Structure formats: structure tokens, C-alpha cells
């Protein structure tokens, strides 16, 4: 299918594994910032609910499926569709997650990220990197190709803060149709003043940038990459994962690492996904989930720029396509997931 | 070497994985019952400390290495030696563990097991089985041969209780030189009266037996086995793992499952490891760690019947031997682990 794009991914994984990092950040709770959850307070539960939907096609720990204020449903539905069709195993990794899901997860401990305007964001970033490195090393002996996604509401702001501290001028995408970039920049400016940083000032102190301005997903993804050197790694996400790539570059983490995302992130004129990734000399892959053909409005709206990506949706579609799954199958299965998902009755 | 016995293990794993289930049970805190930790209160920390020693060669969460009242040190040292020499990855799975280690672990949630004399032991056993099954299914796609060990202080008593409720007349081994079998039977009798059970009365209700009389390790190991059907599974432990086999038989869990343990368990005249396993038609493998040749008294005493097994030591030695590691190397490396392990300064 001509609109089903995954250029030049010439490797066919034998034992692919889909990892997804689940984290919270209080920065993401600033009103108006994130679409991942219908209200800021529910965002503590969003990552766990995503994991439950992917693993069980059911949501247990909150009474509703994560929806954005714009009505887009969580990309976890698409991720589940892709992984189920391709029979690819998933493993969730919690790093600073407050509300744990009822599915198996590997816990990196760590506390939820703090509001970067007022506090050091991830005081235990080094510990998280170390633990995730240990986990990555194990997984490298078991899988030849690892996809790493994320679910962290409000993570694009902390991603942009880290990039700016490291001297990358890019802007991040948004799960909202209209990217609240001005609000993000205000928050970042305030955080920079708090910790005495400015654009590029932490170029030679990436750990400091993550600790002061990041979120717990970033050190976890970095540690996994570090431990997985030797295996093929595909970061699965948009500008948040691009920020992880920037930090990896600054930390000297090498390896066969590329990044896959959805067409909806690539088409986001407000974000600079492609230029960031290319400036780092890394390969990117774009997939078109084809959700304009979905029968469900909460997925159709992706094609208009709501939600766009998350829970590793782009990477999971790429992984599935390498096993022969078609775009049509992804769309149909995503619809089926949402029509059959078991949700708790609202109280 | 003639004393290095692993009869007929004719499979050479390509991607072996060592799992170890970490649990607590309040039954194990009854004084005089367990050697896993120098005092009953410290046994909440023993499994996590074992995991830290295996992964990091250092113990972080308690101020001392787990030692038995008889002076035997934890078999985790031997497990670390075997896995390190053979470069086999380990993954710890927590199921009802109160004190979490600082290494990566997959959490099955669940509460610590209660004292079977007074309370239903594992009210959430079914949930644990379901989650562990999910995890097992994932791991079956990544590894062709999975070794499953355990660390749960006081687990032999709950193992024996489950076996008796299912109608198996065997007795369990002990981490103490002198097996306190009378005390164990007293506890079991009291627990049986509490829940209206007697020998064999729960034969057709294995879930009930585990729930009322077991510990959180048992449903976790069972769920893993269930999810791992299709891969080769080697339960790594003594009579506790034999009890898991009994419960699996009662639950109809099939698969290519055998059991490996140390010579010290096989030589325990008070326990009926071999007869239990053979009555179930399962294969057993015995390894001789050769610890009489250790230069360290806390390991030498294994050869006289202290500690004997645990943290999957027997299975990890078998796994290592399949990669060409010798008994001599295991002994030397175990000594090295104990001489170099980094322990916190006692407060």
C-alpha cells in the first residue's frame, strides 16, 4: 500500500520485544498542557491504564479509557492492535509511576517527576539509569530488536526543557490539536531561572539537565539504550523520544538506535522531529496508521492532529509491518479493540 | 568430573533465562522455622538482599548478608557465581514481597503471605497466577529454556501444607541442619483445623489449598509455568519446588517441566524430594556444588546439610554446566563473590 511507509527498515527481527516506559510528571499536570487524560488529576493513572489496555484489552485501575479533552482516545488501542496482530510480546517498565497497573511490569522505582518550575525534577535520575541499564543488558541477551515506547502525560514539556538545556533549538509536538508551545516555553523559562540554566548551558552536563528539567521516562529510556548496546533499538515515539536521542548523544550512549513515529507527528508543523533526529545522524522511520479510515471518531481525529502518537504506537506498527501486517488490518483491529475493550462501569 | 552430576540433561539452551521468585510469608516468621535470615524479622528483607547479591554483588537494603543462625550464608552467592560464569541473564519476580530490592524486578503485586495458623494465606492467589501467566507467555517468546528459582524464608512449611492438603504424603527439607519437622507439622495441623481441611481433602481444589495454606511464591511459579507451556522449564529448588509440581499436577498445568536441585537436598534423609517428583512422573536433576572444597566456612557447611539450596542455586549450576562451567570454577567463583561482595557497614 503506497501510503504505508517504512522506508529502508531492512532488518527482519527474529525475536522482537516491545518495551514501554510508564512514568508520571507533575509538570504534566499544569492545566492546558497535556491531552493524556481527561483531567490533570487523572494523568497519574493514564500510563497504567494504557498498559492494561495493551495487555488485557480491559481497563481496571480507573473508571474510563484515557481520552483527551478533544475526544481522542489513547493510542494504546493502536499499539494493542499492532502487537496482537503480529504476536509481539510487550513488557512495561515503570519509572516514577504513582498508580501501578494490574499487569506485570518491571519497576525501576524512582519517584514521580516534580514540577520543573519549582523543584529539581528527577533527583534519582542516576539510579534510574543504572537500573534500566541492568535490565537492558538482560533483554539484549533475549531479543534481537527492541522497540521502546513511552506513556507519560505532559512529557513533551520536560522533553523540550532538556533539549533546550542541551542546546537543541527544536520544538516538541503535542497530543493536543493546537500545540500550547507558548505555555510550554513559559514553564521552561521559569524552570531554567530556578536552576540557573539557560539555552545550551548544560551541554556538558546532560545528567544535570535530566535531573533538573526532565522526567523519569528519560533516564529510564537512556539506561535501557545503554544496556541494549549490541541489540537493535528502535525508539518508538515522537519528539519526546527525539529528546531522549539528544540526551543519549550528550551522554555518549552509542549503539544501533533509530526512531519510529507516526505520520501525524511528522506532519506537525509546530514540531521539529525530523530536523532534531537528522542533526544527530540517526535514522527515522515514519508509519501511517491510516486512522482516517477508522469507524470510530476517537481514532479518526488522529488524522486531524489529535493525540498523534504515544504508547509506542508508531514503533509497534512498524514492528507489526515487518511481520506482514497491513495498514488495513491495523485500522480494523484498532476499531475492534475499542469496540470490545472491557471498561469498568463509571461510579 | 565424576562428582558433578547432571544426568541426561540432553538439551543445550540457546537463550537460557534464570527467573527467581521473591516472596514473604508470615508463616516463615514463626521462631525456629527458617534459616533464611539471622532473625525472623529480617526475613522480610532476605529475598531482596538475595536479588541484590546476584545482580550487583552488593547488598543495599539491609546491613548484612543473609546468614542462617547456623552460620551458613545465602545460596545467592552460588547462584551469582554460576550465572556470572555462564553469562546467563537473571530476572527477579516479586510476588507478595514487602521489601523491594534496588535491582529491576517484575512485580506481580500481591500481599505477603499470612500466617497459615490464623488466616487465609494468599487471598489473591488467582490474580497472581493470572499475572504470572501473562509474564510467562511473553518470556516464552524470548527464551527457549527458563530456570525458575525462589527465595522465600519459611517456604518449606507452606509447601508441605499444600502438599498434604493435596494428598501427597511427602515431607519437606529445611535450610536448618536439623529439620524442625515436628514444629512444621504442628503448624500445618493447626492451619488445617482453621480452614476445615485434612490430608488430601483439597485434592480437587488445588486453588483452595494454595489460597488457604500456601504462600505467594507458589501461585507465581505456577502462573509462570502455565504461561511458559511450549518452552523448556526447569524448576530450580528442592522440596518447595516439588510442592509447586504437585500443585501444577492438580491444576492440570502441562508442559516440558523438570526440576533441578543440589546434592544437599537429595541427601536430606528427612525429606522426600525424589519420591515426590518421581510419583508425578517428572524428571529430576541433581547437581553437586562441591562446596566442601570452599575456603569459606559459611559455604563449606552446606556440605554438612546447612542451607542446602535456595535462590535457584541448583538450577543455576545446572544451567552453567550446560555452558561448560566446571564445579571447580563454581566453588572458586562463589568464594570470590563472598570475599568481594560489598556490604553496608552495620549501624
Residue B60 touches partner A, C-beta closer than 8 Å: no
Q: What is the mean pLDDT of chain B?
A: 92
Average pLDDT over residues A120-133: 97
Specify the DSSP class assigned to residue B157. H
Comparing B180 with A190, the larger pLDDT belongs to A190
In this predicted structure, what is the pLDDT of residue A347? 54
pLDDT band at B1 (very low <50, low <70, confident <90, very high): very low
pTM of the model: 0.91
Q: What are phi and psi of A52, to 5 degrees?
A: -65, -40
pLDDT given for residue B345 in this prediction: 67
Q: Model confidence at A5, in pLDDT bands (50, 70, 90)?
A: low
Q: Is the pLDDT of residue B294 over 60?
A: yes
Least confident of A100-104, A176-180, A255-259, B33-37: B33-37
Spell out the residues 6+ positions from residue A193 whose beta carbon is closer than 8 angstroms to its own: none
pLDDT of A1 reads 42
| Residue B220 reports pLDDT greater than 60 | yes
pLDDT-derived band of residue A271, with 50, 70 and 90 as boundaries? confident
pLDDT of residue A105: 94
Q: What is the pLDDT of residue A36?
A: 62
pLDDT reported for residue B173:
78
CB contact under 8 A, B107 and A103: no
The better pLDDT of the pair A34, A57 is held by A57
Cα–Cα distance between B85 and B323 in angstroms, integer? 9
- Calpha distance A85→A325 (Å, rounded): 7
User: Is A86 near chain B, with CB under 8 Å?
Assistant: no
Position B183 confidence tier, pLDDT thresholds 50, 70, 90: very high
For residue range B56-76, list pLDDT tens digits in order. Answer: 999 998 878 888 777 889 999
Please list every residue in chain B whose beta carbon sits closer than 8 Å to the beta carbon of residue A90.
Answer: 138
**pLDDT attached to residue B135:** 96
Which of 103-122 (B) contact A at CB < 8 A? 103-109
pLDDT > 90 fraction of chain A, expressed in percent and rounded: 77
Chain A residues with CB under 8 Å of B137 CB are 89
- Angstrom distances, CA of residue A66 to CA of A60, A69, A114, B87: 12, 10, 22, 42
Most B CBs within 10 Å, among A52, A104, A110, to test the B interface: A104
- Which chain B residues are closer than 8 Å to A135 by Cβ? 104
Asked if pLDDT for residue A242 goes beyond 70, the answer is: yes
**In contact, A146 and A312? CB cutoff 8 Å:** no
**Interval B83-128: pLDDT, tens:** 999 999 999 999 999 999 999 999 998 899 999 999 999 999 999 9
Q: Is the distance from CB of A266 to CB of A293 less than 8 angstroms?
A: no
Q: Domains (ranges, CATH) in chain A?
A: 16-339 (3.40.50.10210)
State the Cα–Cα distance between residues A142 and A134, nearest whole angstrom.
13
Per-residue pLDDT band at A64 (split at 50, 70, 90): confident
Of A107, A127, A138, the CB nearest to B89: A138
CA dist B43 and B66 (Å) reads 9
Based on the number of CB atoms within 10 Å of its own CB, is B280 exposed (0-12), middle (13-18) or buried (19 or more)?
middle
The pLDDT value given to residue A338: 93
pLDDT-derived band of residue B35, with 50, 70 and 90 as boundaries?
Answer: low
Mean predicted confidence (pLDDT) in B30-42: 74
Distances in Å between the Cα of B312 and the Cα atoms of A128, A258, B34, B62, B147 are: 27, 38, 17, 21, 8
Of A76-85, B219-228, B260-269, give the lowest mean pLDDT range: B260-269
Count CB pairs under 8 A between chains A and B. Answer: 65
Amino acid at each position: 500500500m503506497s501510503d504505508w511507509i517504512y522506508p529502508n527498515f531492512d532488518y527482519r527481527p527474529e525475536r522482537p520485544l516491545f518495551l514501554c516506559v510508564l512514568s508520571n510528571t507533575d509538570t504534566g499536570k499544569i492545566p492546558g498542557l497535556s491531552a493524556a487524560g481527561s483531567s490533570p488529576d487523572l494523568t497519574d493513572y493514564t500510563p497504567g491504564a494504557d498498559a492494561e489496555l495493551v495487555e488485557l484489552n480491559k481497563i481496571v485501575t480507573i473508571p474510563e479509557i484515557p481520552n483527551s479533552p478533544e475526544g481522542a482516545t489513547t493510542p494504546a488501542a493502536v499499539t494493542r492492535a499492532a502487537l496482537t496482530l503480529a504476536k509481539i510480546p510487550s513488557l512495561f517498565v515503570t519509572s516514577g509511576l504513582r498508580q501501578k497497573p494490574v499487569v506485570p511490569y518491571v519497576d525501576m522505582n524512582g519517584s514521580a517527576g516534580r514540577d520543573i518550575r519549582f523543584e529539581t525534577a528527577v533527583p534519582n535520575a542516576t539510579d534510574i539509569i543504572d537500573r534500566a541499564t541492568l535490565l537492558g543488558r538482560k533483554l539484549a541477551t533475549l531479543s534481537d530488536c527492541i522497540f521502546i515506547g513511552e506513556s507519560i502525560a505532559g512529557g513533551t514539556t520536560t522533553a523540550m526543557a532538556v533539549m533546550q538545556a542541551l542546546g537543541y533549538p527544536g520544538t516538541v509536538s503535542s497530543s493536543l490539536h493546537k500545540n500550547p508551545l507558548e505555555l510550554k516555553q513559559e514553564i521552561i523559562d521559569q524552570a531554567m531561572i530556578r536552576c540557573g540554566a539557560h539555552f545550551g548551558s548544560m551541554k556538558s552536563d546532560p545528567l544535570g539537565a535530566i535531573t533538573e528539567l526532565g522526567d523519569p521516562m528519560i533516564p529510564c529510556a537512556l539506561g535501557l539504550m545503554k544496556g541494549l548496546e549490541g541489540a537493535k533499538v528502535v525508539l518508538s515515539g515522537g519528539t519526546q523520544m527525539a529528546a531522549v536521542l539528544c540526551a543519549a548523544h550528550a551522554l555518549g550512549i552509542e549503539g544501533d538506535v533509530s526512531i519510529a513515529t507516526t505520520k501525524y507527528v511528522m506532519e506537525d508543523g509546530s514540531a521539529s522531529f525530523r530536523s532534531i533526529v537528522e542533526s544527530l545522524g540517526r535514522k527515522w522511520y515514519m508509519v501511517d496508521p491510516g486512522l482516517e479510515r477508522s469507524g470510530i471518531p476517537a481514532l479518526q481525529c488522529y488524522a486531524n492532529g489529535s493525540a498523534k502518537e504515544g504508547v509506542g504506537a508508531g514503533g509497534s506498527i512498524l514492528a507489526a509491518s515487518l511481520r506482514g501486517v497491513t495498514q488495513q488490518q491495523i485500522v480494523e483491529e484498532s476499531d475492534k479493540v475499542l469496540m470490545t475493550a472491557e471498561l469498568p462501569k463509571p461510579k
